[in-house]
Every structure is written in structure tokens, then in C-alpha cells.
Structure 1
Amino acid sequence: MDDNPAPGRFSASSATLGIEEEFLLCDPQSGRPSPRNFEVAAAGRALGIELQLELTRCQVETATEIGHHISDLRDQLCESRAVTADAAAREGCQLIAVGTPFFDPVVEEITPKSRYQRMAGQFGALTEGVMCGCHIHVGVEDRERTVQIINHLRPWLPVLLALTANSPLSGGRDTGYASWRYVLFGRWPSSGPPPFFESAGHYEDAVAAMLETGVILDPHMVYWDVRMSDHLPTVEIRISDVPATVEETMTLATLVQSLVVTATAAIAKGEPAPVVDQEMLRAACWRAARDGLDGRSLEVESVRLTTAHQAVRRLVDHVEPALSAFGEFEQVTTSLDRVFSNGNGAIVQRRELARRSRVADVIAECARRTFEGCTADGGGKLSATP
């Protein structure tokens, strides 16, 4: 990323973008989590895709290549979901884009890798939770600037969570939360919104303290909702549930990239990040997890309740210059209008459950929406509908 942009200018082309999506593997008949990630990864490798193994055996993760614009990644997102689903089907599994399983997983189905086994030994039952998120990486070379960007992004974290909430059901019932994944993830001692950091040294001291006290076993266990990547020159936004559709993932990634570009321009102009109270920010994230997109949102700077739709529109207004620089303003606003009208993952799951009263029908609809918006060209190759 350009370390010296002119004040007020948006260096849209230099803010690299990468997307990671975590998916659930479940049994097509029962809908229960299917602990076959090793087998699915092997099948995926034969089909030309490298899948990452997650903490529990009923999860796999995909990752795009690095791009400069969401248009570089649209087809990759659709293609990776399709190929991974094919690999899963070959191993008797169904791939679904949801934040948590519909039924509780089998206990002690931790992926047998040494790091995960050490985590299980240290953190016990915490490692049994199955949570599928979406992680957006935006390139930032300078660590001091990364910390400043994190500070600028903190107030927008609850809005991103509400927009992508996709895990209302667990244990075969409605949990009362649009993002049950976020609530479960909050049990980890290194999770939640990060504090306001004065510098990269302040950030690194906090990580060092967690390592020294055993709160984390390695830097990759820094589970803050936005963090400096421990192995890439990026800022990583990880608060979101895995979105239900490819279109929603593209919209999320574009908004996140635009937030980073907007923050970079503000930093270049000497604009300080808002110093948001940590407990108020935690409360706002809880509200977003509870209400999702069809409820209320707590604005952390004004400390007032508004609707989630209004909060999303305020976010769009905030990043409009960056969206326009990317040429994505119309696409994002059109996509958001569709989500407002039709619902995001949590809304659709609840609507389907109310309409049909069977979790099996909800699962079928979620499986269908995992590939919604993808079309095949004449050669059978999948691409995302813009």
C-alpha cells in the first residue's frame, strides 16, 4: 500500500484485498455436523483447490488470491464455493455458508494437528465450538499506520456484524441472537473489539502480555474483531459471520476495503480516530449480535439507538468517496437494497423456519443460497453475477 498518499486522495488501486471464508460440513440427511475435513480437503486438492483445515473437523476454509479490486475476486469466490461443495459431496457431505451448525457437533472432534491439540489442552471445552466467519485482508505495509487504521475502524465493527449476521439457529432452535457465532466466539479471552492503541508498540506489548500469561498460545490466537495479521502485511477484519451468499461477501469486502481507504485518507490529513469507550463498543457489538439487520443498532459515538438499516446507510455515506473511487458505489447500494428487502442470512433462516417449521428446510435453503448469484458460462465455468 502507498505509504505516502496525498492528503484527501483515495489510493484505491493500492489497497490490496484478500478474502477467507469458513464453511460448515454437514450430513445431507440429518443436517448434523460431519467431521470429514481431512477427506474433503484431499478431494478438493484433486479438484485443484487448497482448503485449510480449521479447529474442528466439520469445517474447511477457502482463501482467494490477492487482488486490488473486488472485480479481481468475484469469480474466485463463486468458483471456490462450487469446487469445495463438489469436494464435500464426493465425501458424503454438504457445504453450507452459515455461522454455526444447526445441531451440536460431536464432542472431541478436534482436527488432529499439534497446534489444535495444544489449544484443546489449554482451553478445554472452548475448542468444541464450531464457528464459521469471514476474514477480509486489506494490504497495509506500515505497522504504525495499521494500528491507526484499526482505531478508525473500531466504531464500524458492530455495523459490519449486523449486516452479515448468519447464525440464529443452534441446537435445533432459535437462540434469540442473529449472530450466535459472535456470542460463542466471545468466550475466548482474546476475542472481541480491540482496545484503542496509541502505537504499534502498544499493540505489540498487549500481544506479548497475552502470550506471557497464557491467554494465547501464539500470535495467531489474537482473535480481536480487527487485528494486524501475524503473517501478512495486512489489516484483517474478522468480526463477520460467513455471509450467506457470494453477493453479500462481495459487498462486505468492498465496504471493508473502502473503510480502510477512507481511514488512510483521514490519517494522511491528520484526522484523529474517535476514542470510543471500550465497554460501549462491546455493548454495541452485543446489540448487533442480538438484533442483526432487522433490529436496533447502538451508535457508539453518539451513544444512541437507531435502526440497523440506518446504521448501514451511515456507513455507506462515510465511505461513499472511496466506493466511488473503486467504481462500486452503485453496485454496493443496489446489493444493500436487495438485502434490506429480502433479508440477510439470519433473517432468511428465521423466515424459513417460521414458514415451514422444520430445520431440515432451513438447511436446504441455506445450501441453495451458498451458491445464489453464481452463473455458468458456455464452458460450464461458474462466475458471480455482478
Structure 2
Amino acid sequence: MEKAPSKDAWSPTVGVEEEFLLVDPETGAPVNLADEVVTIAREELGLELEHELTGAQVEINTTICRDVEQARQELLDTRRLVAQAARMAGCRAVAVGAPPLGEAIGEVTDSRRYQRIAREFGALAEQQLICGCHVHVAVPDRETAVQVCNHMRPWLPVLAAVTANSPFSGGEDTGFASWRSTVWSRWPVSGPPPVFESWQHYEELCDTMITAGTALDRAMVYWDVRPATELPTVEVRVSDVAATVDEAVLLAALVRALVAQAVVDVGRGVEAEPVPQETLRQACWSAANEGLRGTVLDVLAGEPRPVRQQLDDLVRRLTPIFEANGDLPAVQRGLHLLDTQGGGADRQRTAFRGGQVESLLSLVDVDNADRAEQRQSTAS
């Protein structure tokens, strides 16, 4: 019988990173205007944005947040400023996992690290116009971090489905809910990680990949969950950037609660279920293909089950933690959005029916959630 989560689970801090795509405001094709957007954001709006691998992407980061409501407000505020900076630069910032329109090739950012990646990995770099959402959750130490990663592994397919938000490429439906996941899987170190025996084992695996040349350094160990390279956190990076803030916050709340429970379990000597890496890879591929409305292998039950049922099971499992750490309202808000409007991929398909470019771009514009928030406040 599965052990119920503890109500005294640790309530760790959380941080969210989101990557956005810069596109032509009329055609939706990617444009290499990151330098302009970053400069305007800093000098005109007081917002520090990060460059990404290509010049058609920018990244935002929340501060270290005490709970997901704080993260939600920061994401709303920051997305609004990103949208404004993009408009001032003559483009549009959209929250989408992969470019839905135009050619998915960008100019590699002119930095020493990114140029080295381009030299070593060729076309993979310039075709890396994909945008994810990474959730960082604090853990006590490195040894705990690798064990928490082990506990997180079985839930990666469900977490991937929550924000699946990239069904199109080149104006065509790919048949996937998350085309980003397929593009991302071409990197040699990506997808679900193996089970880690210890921090030393994790370090040895990283050293092997660096020696083999499949990763330049530990920052290029792109597993879907990993100990962060510079922060005392576990980083979950399996997800598309969400179309709305409420979906991003739902993801953050799920990850925060899973980490919180895992920290308690590790402290009590509870071992993680050692799901084979290949089993997880198959389930994650199916989750990217099917999205929330599909049926995917439940790696703990050993049989295919609807993703939405698996998500409901996870939420029930974690509800005592949500109640204890105050994240339950954010979870309920995110689930209500998914139940009433569908996932990001579903909404994109509806918006783009008949090739309506403006309808699609309006849906995934980064200030879409902010505008929805304003409409909700007005209605109430």
C-alpha cells in the first residue's frame, strides 16, 4: 500500500525559470532580436533578462520564493514587462514550447560559451529555438539532492504533460502535444536520468559524459531532473514553457510538493522506486505525444492509464502538503484552467484552426495570463 505523504513535510523555497520566443508580430516567424529586447528591458523598464542559446529567445527568473503565490505574482509582473520590451523592439514575445510558424532556425548568441556549443554540436545549436519551464526547489545538501531526483523520476511523464504547449512546427500540426520534447531529445544528454546511487555516482556519470565529449560541462547535463549546477536545489526541466502563468504555477506547486515529500522520505530512509530508465523514456515520449488528453504508461502501476487520472492521483497524494504549505488554491486554479479550457496544445489547435495566425499569437503572447487576470478581476 502506498504511504500517504506527511503533513509535516518540509516547505522549501521555489524558483521558476521561463524561456520565451521572439517572433514577428504579424507572421509569427522567429526573429533574432534578443539583444534589443534585453537592452530595452534593462535600460527602459528596469528588468534584467537573460540571453539564451539563440538570438530569438530570452529567459526570465523569479527570485527565491517562499511559496508559489509569490512566484505567481512575480511571473505576472515579469511577463508584462517582457511583452512591453518586445513590442518596443518591434517584435512579440510568446510563451510556446517550439516555434509554431516560420523556420525553426536562429542565430547562435555571440557569447564564448554558446559559440563553443555551436562549434561542437553543429546544427543542434541553431535549431534550438525551443522554450522550457524549469522549476528549482531547495534541498538541504547535495547527497539529499540526488536521492530526491530518484524519487522524482516516476512523475516526469505526468509533469511533462501538465504544460505541453508546442503542437505546431512550420505551420503544420506535428501530432505531438509537445514537439519541443522531441527536438530536445536529440541532445546526447537529455531525457529522464538513471537512478543515482550517491552524489559520487552522479559526479562520475557527469565526468564520463564530459570525457566523452557529449557534454562540455555539468551545465550541459540536460536530464529532465537533476541537481542544479550552481544552486542548492533540485531542478525539474521536463516541461514546455506554459501558455499561462497559472499553468506554470501549477507545475511549480506539484514539483515543490514532490520535493518536499521526497526530502522527508530520504530522511526516513525510504528508497525510491527504481523505474528503469528506458521505461521512463517510453512514458515521457508518450506524454509528449499525447498530452493531457492521452493515455500513457503509468510507470508505477505498470499499465497504461489516462494522463488526467494520473494527475488527479498525484494531486490527491500531495493534497496534505498543499494544505500545509498554502499552495492548494494555486493548484485548484491551475486544474480548473485545464479542465475548462484544455491544455496549452489543445488551446493552440483550437486557436489556429483555419490558419488564424493572429488568434494563435494572441493566445500565446506572454502577457496573455496578465490580460486574463485583469478580465477576471473586472468580472468579479
Q: Give TM class, smaller chain.
A: over 0.9
How far does residue 287 in structure 1 lie from its aligned partner after superposition?
A: 0.4
Q: Which whole-Å CA distance do the structure 1 matches of 2:93 and 2:333 have between them?
A: 27
Who is 1:188 aligned against? 187
What SS does structure 2 have at the residue aligned with 1:374? helix
Whether the 8 Å contact between 2:10 and 2:263 is mirrored in structure 1 is: no
Q: Per-residue displacement from partner, 1:36-56 (whole Å, max 9, x unpaired)?
A: 101100000021110000001
Q: Per-residue displacement from partner, 1:171-205 (whole Å, max 9, x unpaired)?
A: 11100100000110000001000101110111010
Q: Per-residue displacement from partner, 1:213-252 (whole Å, max 9, x unpaired)?
A: 1111111111000011111111000101001101111111
Who is 2:16 aligned against? 19
Whether the 8 Å contact between 1:101 and 1:169 is mirrored in structure 2 is: yes
Q: Which moved more, 1:269-278 or 1:160-169?
A: 269-278
What SS does structure 2 have at the residue aligned with 1:119? helix
Out of 56, 68, 71, the residue aligned to residue 73 of structure 1 is 71
Q: Which moved more, 1:77-86 or 1:317-326?
A: 317-326
Who is 1:4 aligned against? none
Whether the 8 Å contact between 1:296 and 1:308 is mirrored in structure 2 is: yes
Aligned residues: 372
Who is 2:101 aligned against? 103
Who is 1:353 aligned against? 352
Residue identity in the other structure for 1:191 = S
How far does residue 266 in structure 1 lie from its aligned partner after superposition?
A: 1.7
What SS does structure 2 have at the residue aligned with 1:137? strand
Who is 2:25 aligned against? 28
Q: Which whole-Å CA distance do the structure 2 matches of 1:307 and 1:153 have between them?
A: 20
Q: Which whole-Å CA distance do the structure 1 matches of 2:254 and 2:97 have between them?
A: 20
What SS does structure 2 have at the residue aligned with 1:159? helix
Residue identity in the other structure for 2:314 = L
Alpha carbons of structure 1 residues 153 and 106: separation in structure 2 relative to 1, 3 Å: closer
Note if 1:91 corresponds to 2:89. yes
Whether the 8 Å contact between 2:161 and 2:287 is mirrored in structure 1 is: yes
Give the aligned CA root-mean-square deviation in angstroms.
Answer: 2.0
Alpha carbons of structure 1 residues 348 and 216: separation in structure 2 relative to 1, 3 Å: same
How far does residue 334 in structure 1 lie from its aligned partner after superposition?
A: 4.0
Note if 1:122 corresponds to 2:120. yes
Q: Which whole-Å CA distance do the structure 1 matches of 2:331 and 2:106 have between them?
A: 41
Q: Per-residue displacement from partner, 1:2-47 (whole Å, max 9, x unpaired)?
A: xxxxx9453444x111111000110101110010101100000021
How far does residue 140 in structure 1 lie from its aligned partner after superposition?
A: 1.1
> What fraction of aligned residue pairs are identical, expressed as a percent?
45
Q: Which whole-Å CA distance do the structure 1 matches of 2:220 and 2:236 have between them?
A: 14
| Unpaired segments ≥5 residues, structure 2 | none
Whether the 8 Å contact between 1:17 and 1:70 is mirrored in structure 2 is: yes
Who is 1:205 aligned against? 204
* 1:166-181 equivalences in 2 (<5 Å): 166-181=165-180
TM-score normalised by L of structure 2: 0.93
What SS does structure 2 have at the residue aligned with 1:279? helix
What SS does structure 2 have at the residue aligned with 1:288? helix
Who is 1:45 aligned against? 42
| Unpaired segments ≥5 residues, structure 1 | 1-6, 377-382
* 1:1-386 equivalences in 2 (<5 Å): 8=6, 10-13=8-11, 15-46=12-43, 47-105=45-103, 107=105, 109-129=107-127, 130-354=129-353, 356-367=354-365, 369-375=368-374
How far does residue 142 in structure 1 lie from its aligned partner after superposition?
A: 0.9
What SS does structure 1 have at the residue aligned with 2:352? helix
What SS does structure 1 have at the residue aligned with 2:278? helix
Q: Which whole-Å CA distance do the structure 1 matches of 2:68 and 2:105 have between them?
A: 38
Residue identity in the other structure for 2:67 = H
Moved over 4 A (4+): none
Whether the 8 Å contact between 1:8 and 1:268 is mirrored in structure 2 is: no
Alpha carbons of structure 1 residues 106 and 193: separation in structure 2 relative to 1, 3 Å: closer
